[in-house]
Amino acid sequence: MIVNITALTLSGRITSRFLKIDAVILYDPEIAGADEISARYLYIRDSFQDYMRQLGESDLEGSAGLARLKSELLRRARAVSGSDAPREILIADMVIQ
């Protein structure tokens, strides 16, 4: 998934950056509603993109930024799937360019 994010330069100018992320949703198949994750994949992805388009580069700095990102994506996956089956978001690759 690739989204456009904003960043500030040293001179205070706002610039555009691209965020490329490869994320995986781990879920518990025993929990009711787990089958909805595959069926609602496109909606989950859309929800992720909506959130990530609102981010600035400073929102992703450090381990706290990564933890916030994973937490928000997990919250959105649970909301869209309508269950607590999603257990964790794993980020395989993340590039800000």
pLDDT tens-digit profile, the chain (97 residues)? 656 555 555 555 667 778 888 889 999 989 988 888 888 989 999 999 899 888 888 888 899 999 999 999 999 999 999 999 999 999 988 888 7
Domain ranges for the chain, please list them. Answer: 2-96
Predicted TM-score of the model (pTM): 0.83
Q: Which CATH class is domain 2-96?
A: alpha beta
> Residue 70 has what pLDDT?
95
Helix (H) or strand (E) holding 17: strand 14-27
Helix (H) or strand (E) holding 68: helix 62-81
Our separate counts of H helices and E strands in the chain read 3, 3
> Residue 81 has what pLDDT?
92
